[in-house]
Structure 1
Amino acid sequence: MDKIKKELLEWGQAILVTLVIFLIYNFFFATTTVYNTSMFPTLVEKDMLFMVKRSELKAGDIVSFKSDLTLSARDIDSLNFIQKLLHHEGERKNLIKRVIAVPGDSIEVKDGEVIVNGIILDEPYINTVTNKSAYYEKIPEGMYFCMGDNRFVSYDSREIGLISGDDMIGKVVFRFMPLSKIGKVN
């Protein structure tokens, strides 16, 4: 009888520790997968990323956020088996972009240049010419201006407007797949 009690206690402790670790992980961390080319060459399709959820964001950070776009049946078909279990048609799509301007900044995108607080940004990470235009005299508190590195194909703040901090999922800090490219994401 004591052996059964001891075993039940050990199982209970193991379950409790697992539950605590799971809750801590889900509160502070997240993972995501890159599904398109809007962040090329920094990130490519099928890159798997580790993110910190509750982090102060600054210009240059790569973030994932919930967009107003929704997953289509075609999007669901492109997912692997496990991802299909976790997502459903009509769910808001997560996008991955780079923070370009933060609350209090002014930003203007015109004639292929990105100007933040009156200074033309040097952007060695972009892949294509910056097209389209946008202007915000002052980014409001809790909002962010984000763009993809592959500007010609990226659907970002130039079209969808500012991104609410409430929709931010996390800041990308580490690529864990593919193994050949494992490491910190700059």
Structure 2
Amino acid sequence: MVFRMLRNIYEWLKSLVIAALLAYIIHTFLFAIVIVSGPSMEPTLHNGERLILNKIVYKIHPPERGDIIVFHATETDDYIKRVIGIPGDKIEFKNNQLFVNGQPVEEPYLGDVYTGDISPFTVPDETLYVLGDNRNNSSDSRIFGPVAIDKVVGRVKIVIWPLNKLGFID
């Protein structure tokens, strides 16, 4: 009887340890939940929304224009921004229009915001040019320059909270 009880406890503890180990591996290497803080990605993302962060995607292929990424902005802060330019791209804003490599880029996620003019800028190797969708209220590459690719944590594609926003991010 005691042996059977000890065996049940052992099996239960073993299952608990395996579950905790799997949760740790998934959170550390594959996926995490991040919380939007601030208005810099409005109207696409809003303060307090919870997102699933895919940490493994950029181990398979590099970030692409239009991706919404999370990156280490400082030692203590992570930012969420949209990739506008990849290494080698020439970025320019003229008359409130984004140009990448001389071609106008449609940005339907912006709404009616004024970005301002920015002189042509070539994105250096191993970096990304990132901007918030709320251009009038965003600290981004216009302020702190391009982001080193090795600072990128992953890509967000899914809102999980609040439930009325559950779904993929455009």
Deviating beyond 6 angstroms after TM superposition, the runs of 4 or more aligned structure 1 residues are none
Q: Deviations over 1:73-118 (max 9, x none)?
A: xxxxxxxxxxxxxxxxxx5222111100112222123442211111
**Which residue among 161, 169, 175 is the counterpart of 2:153?**
169
Question: Of the candidates 120, 133, 158, which is equivalent to residue 118 of structure 2?
Answer: 133
1:86-165 mapped onto 2 (5 Å cutoff): 92-127=76-111, 128-131=113-116, 133-137=118-122, 139-165=123-149
The share of aligned pairs that are identical, in percent, is 33
Q: Which residue of 2 aligns with 1:37?
A: 39
Question: What do residues 31-88 of structure 1 show as CA deviations (whole Å, max 9, x unaligned)?
Answer: 21112111111111111111101223110111111213xxxxxxxxxxxxxxxxxxxx
Superimposed CA distance per residue, residues 119-142 of structure 1 (whole angstroms, 9 cap, x where no aligned partner): 0111111131112525323x2332
1:48 counterpart = 2:50: yes
Counterpart of 1:62 in structure 2 is 68
In 1: Cα distance, 2:35 partner to 2:154 partner: 13
Q: Please, what is the CA RMSD of the aligned residues?
A: 1.8
> Equivalents in 2 of 1:2, 1:132: separation in Å?
76
Query: TM-score if structure 1 supplies the norm length?
Result: 0.79
Q: Secondary structure at the match of 2:46?
A: coil
Aligned length: 163
2:115 maps to a residue whose letter is T
Q: Which runs of 5+ in 1 are unaligned?
A: 69-90
Native 8 Å contact 1:62 1:99 kept in 2: yes
Query: What letter is aligned with 2:72?
Result: K
Residue 23 (structure 1) aligned to one of 22, 25, 28: 25
**Aligned residues of 2:92 and 2:98 also touching (Cα < 8 A):** yes
Paired residue type of 2:126: G
Q: Secondary structure at the match of 1:26?
A: helix
Displacement of 1:177? 0.7
In the alignment, structure 2 segments of 5+ residues that lack a partner are none
Q: Report the residue type matching 1:2 in the other structure.
A: F
103-112 vs 23-32, which moves further: 103-112
Secondary structure in structure 2 of the residue aligned to 1:38: coil
